Chains A and B, each alone.
Chain A
Amino acid sequence: MTKLSPLDAWHREHGGRMVDFAGWELPVQFSSVIQEHIAVRQAAGLFDISHMAQADVSGPRALDWLQYMLPNNIDVKVGRGVYSPMCNFQGGIIDDLYVFRLGEERFFLVMNASREEADLAWLRQHQFSEVTLDARSSRAGIALQGPHAEAVLSAVVPEATSLSRNGVIETELTQARVIVSRTGYTGEDGFELFVPAVSAAAIWEALYKSGQHFGLVAAGLGARDTLRLEMGYPLYGHEGSENCTPYDIGYGWTVKLQKNSDFIGREALESQQRTGIEHKLIGLILDERGVPRQGWTVTSDGRARGVVTSGTHSPSLNRGICLALVDSGAGEPYKLEHNGKTFSAHAVELPFYKEAGARRRQELILQ
């Protein structure tokens, strides 16, 4: 039984092409992945992220518990968010998630839809007493992304426009309590709104209407994926699994070994750091036409050295791009192989698309 977003009817009325994603029926596109992608890079896009799991954590020991559950440092100021993997005792990644600190003893978690059950089971298994964990079932999420996101939001949630990157506020909207953060998965400026299911349609409509002056479009999962891949952002199940650690995918910066609390996976991760990291995640651009896909083989000097974890056509670069997990010793010249065909490619420093947020930065300078 697939789950329906509270915005399901809106999507169908507006030509959304519905697909199954992690047990949810969601629009992969409305008009065209490429058009929606470009709209987000140049103007603004509205995404339904109601599938993302949401949970509230509170209690006198809420901070201690999250510090124990997560390798990143969760002891941030109230009103700030932090991205962290959640690891098992072997350092393997159970999921990657966002933690927002809403109060000294109150936190809000946003997790991957595909991992909701696994995450909640793991969290409950290791739950401290004096900590409350409440998963939100009747929920919705809306991501407003793009250089004009702030202008679009200002007509609907003016108090959120002063947030800085990774900032979060709780506020009232259509008589509902909503959480608004300045975060996203596109590389552009933007906001994510976490709202009760009953308020989703009204808030979505308000943002959509406000956005019409700014070239905003509704965007689907297709553009969400090309946008995140142009930024080199990992997607759980592609980059990240229980069989690899944050170090294996180049996300060592999310592991704070220097924080003065124990956390699940610390021992394994410390040991891996001492003995050396066997893999690295690299970004490859095809030198010729073609679209690399997950599972293609990466060779270096004629030897298989790894595998493509995510691949697509980059609308911004008009080239095939991919992320690949390769042996840490592998280097140029790289090639990609699939079904007996060989494509030449070269590694680039991530992100693939380096202009993200540039419009927004320029506007700030001009002000």
Chain B
Amino acid sequence: MTDLNDYRFTETHEWVHLREDGLFYVGITDHAQEEITDIVFVDLPESGRVVNAGDELLLVDSVKASFSIYAPVSGTVERSNEALANSPELVNSSPYEDGWLVALKPSDTADTDSLMTHDQYLAFVESQQ
């Protein structure tokens, strides 16, 4: 079971998680995948792309529409989740694990202090409804 207490969250419904390889893994929240519904395409970025926190990182497509996913922290795309090329539905079935989107090598200024904890995020989602 994923311990979401180590994850940090944005108001645009991304999560970021620092893992043992020193990379910030980025994905979308369970709430986001539920809202987007059947994900059929993830437009994965090339490795080496530099992004600032808040920049558009990639697009995911449901049957009905395209959705922009933003970088939660600044950094360089180290790698993308290649499994999503053939199985984009992993984002729906496992948003916090197998359905991660990209791993970012953090820039010197990258920080997650301004992001929400899981409890704060859940309260945020509640407040938006």
- The chain A residues found within 8 Å of chain B, CB to CB, are 17, 28-29, 32-34, 222, 225-226, 289-291, 293, 312-313, 315, 320
Contact = CB atoms under 8 A, between A and B. Distances in A.
Interface residues of B, number: 12
Nearest to B34: A17
Main secondary structure of the interface of A (DSSP, over half): mixed
Nearest to B35: A17
A313 B41 contact: yes
A222 B85 contact: no
Contacts of A225: 64
Interface string B14-43: 000000000000000000000001101101
A75 B26 CA distance: 62
Contacts of A29: 37
B5 to A, nearest CB: 30
Given A28-B64, A222-B63, A315-B63, A291 B37 contact: no
Nearest to A34: B38
Q: Which 3 A-B pairs have the closest CB atoms?
A: A313-B40, A291-B61, A33-B63
Nearest to A293: B66
A355 B108 CA distance: 56
B63 A289 contact: no
Contacts of B63: 33-34, 222, 226, 291, 312-313, 315
Contacts of A222: 37, 63-64
Nearest to A290: B41
Interface-centre pick from B61, B62, B64 (highest chain A CB count, 10 A): B64
Nearest to A338: B66
Contacts of B85: 289
Given A226-B63, A291-B61, A313-B63, A32 B40 contact: no
Nearest to B63: A33
Contacts of A315: 63
Contacts of B66: 291, 293
Contacts of A312: 63-64
Given A289-B85, A315-B63, 8 more contacts: A32-B37, A33-B62, A289-B41, A290-B41, A291-B61, A291-B63, A312-B63, A312-B64
Nearest to B92: A32
B41 A33 contact: no
A225 B41 CA distance: 18
24 contacts: A17-B37, A28-B64, A29-B37, A32-B38, A33-B37, A33-B38, A33-B62, A33-B63, A33-B64, A34-B40, A222-B37, A222-B64, A225-B64, A289-B41, A289-B85, A290-B61, A291-B40, A291-B66, A293-B65, A312-B63, A313-B41, A313-B61, A313-B63, A320-B41
